[in-house]
Amino acid sequence: MADLLYQSIILSVVAVVLLQVLKLRVRPRARTPPGPWRLPVIGSMHHLLNVLPHRALRDLAAVHGPLMMLQLGQTPLVVVSSREMAREVLRTHDASFATRPKLLVGEVVLYSYTDILFSPSGTYWRKLRQLCAAEIFSPSRVLSFRHIREQEVKNQVEDIHGVGPSTPVDATAIFSGLAISIISRASFGNKQRNAREFLSAVKTGVTLASGFKIPDLFPAWRSVLARATGMRRALEDVHGTIDSSLDEVIAERKCVRQDKARSGGAPAAVEENLVDVLIGLQEKGGPLHRLSTNSIKGVIVDMFVAGTGTISSSLDWGMAELMRSPRVMGKLQRELREAFPGRTAISERDIDAGSLPYLKLVIKENLRLHPPAPLLVPRESIHACELGGYVIPAGSRVIVNAWAIGRDPRYWGDDAEEFKPERFADSSVDFTGSSYEFLPFGAGRRMCPGVSYSLPFLQMALVQLCYHFDWSLPEGVAVVDMTEADGLGLRRKSPLRLCATPFVPESAC
């Protein structure tokens, strides 16, 4: 009897173990999105070596679908490459993907994620976003910098006039210098005294902020890998240069405000730049009680990096496309010269009051083909989420290939790769974040807040350059080189060298 009982217990235990093993084997695994083949340790990283990521990811999506998952080291990377999937991420499940991955650049350079770009989702970020919308990117604030845009573009037009029509000018350098001058004056109140070192540090920081660097792909080993690869040392050098420059600027602006107050004027009477605005908010408190000096620095770095890099690149691509399409250039110049007949000077007020529909189409088409951030800024899934029948694990990095979506023939037709501004005529498609086939500035909670800041700059520069000059390629140059530079930012590889023949209005003759 005892033996029978003993055998029954043994059989029961064995049966339970077998059932548990069988249950584990038949339990359906989470169905994650498809993706390319992987190698041990590095996963899918070999698919992105020595290639332009936005192009390589479009080619992989053509094989694996518009919702695709790669494994980059320890980091799951979800890539969205269609309008429909972009709407799911940026609208339907926007709250699930509203945070940012904690990249090393945000920790070291951007004051432990106190800026708006890399700040994780939460109360601090929400209040910072509200502050930017109300105080930094408000229509009145953008309008207050109108005189800066007008003065700097006017100075550049005069410089080009002085070169003469037979000597080529470096348009790429002109656009970069123009963006730096305008953003510096609007942000700091003057042009940086140590501009060369500051700009060099900013460029290095942008290069290291891609999210594709080895330490950012192995979070468990990030500290060790950051030091072994030299990435932390490089970022600390970048931080040191940027931080000392901003300390100098903030101290200078505080002295200006104090001097004005001592002389009987209110600090608010000082001609304000963005540093002044943030100092004023810090002094009076307000909805963002954690607006520390580091927060001010982080926001200013975001403004400077986003403003100088993306605006100059957009102008560079736009002028290159116009040079490749004499029809479009001619049509744009006719619109401008008919809108402002006989004018020797054009103000931003004139541009706002004028009817310039084709200019707006040209800007839209340029942003479609050449979005400033082709993969947008990466997001991270806060918790597990289902998209298109697939499970996106919590902590997955998510990028939207805006470049690929903007060139997809399903949304733009067989001529999707052509520069054709007329495609936007009589179309409701816009870059305000509601048209998911057109996402140059993103959409949803983490949409770029500086759209209203950059558009007046783009309009002013294009109007002045295309109105005042007839442009041509230098002697011996037959085509514009449209090769893209390496890296995540969508930049042209070769400088755009052009000859500028001044246009003389009839009434000025």
Mind listing the pLDDT tens digit for each residue in 429-462?
999 889 999 999 999 999 988 888 889 999 999 9
Q: Is the pLDDT of residue 191 over 80?
A: no
pLDDT band for position 5 (50/70/90)?
A: very low
Helix residue ranges, H only, 111-221: 123-131, 139-144, 146-163, 171-188, 195-207, 214-217
Closest CA to 436 of 65, 87, 54: 87
Copy the structure tokens of residue 367: 């942003």
φ and ψ at residue 416, rounded to 5 degrees: -60, -25
Confirm whether residue 466 is marked as ligand binding: no
Q: Is the pLDDT of residue 184 over 90?
A: no
Average pLDDT over residues 197-222: 89
Higher pLDDT, 486 or 337: 337
Q: Is the pLDDT of residue 4 over 60?
A: no
The residue type found at 7 is Q
Q: What percent of the chain has pLDDT over 70?
A: 89
pLDDT tens-digit profile of 390-433?
999 999 999 999 999 999 999 999 999 999 999 999 899 999 88
Q: What is the DSSP string of 216-265?
A: HH-GGGHHHHHHHTTHHHHHHHHHHHHHHHHHHHHHHHHHHHHHHHHTT-
Q: What is the chain's mean pLDDT, rounded?
A: 87
pLDDT tens-digit profile of 234-259?
999 999 999 998 998 888 888 887 87
φ and ψ at residue 484, rounded to 5 degrees: -85, 145
Contacts of 127 (CB under 8 A, 6+ apart): 287, 288, 290
CA 185 to chain centroid, in Å, comes to 21
Q: Is the pLDDT of residue 14 over 70?
A: no
pLDDT tens-digit profile of 145-179?
899 999 999 999 999 998 888 899 999 999 999 99
Q: Is the pLDDT of residue 138 over 80?
A: yes
What pLDDT does residue 509 have? 53
What pLDDT does residue 305 have? 84
Check: CB of residue 215 under 8 Å from CB of residue 225. yes
Report the distance separating Cα 199 and Cα 233, nearest Å.
18
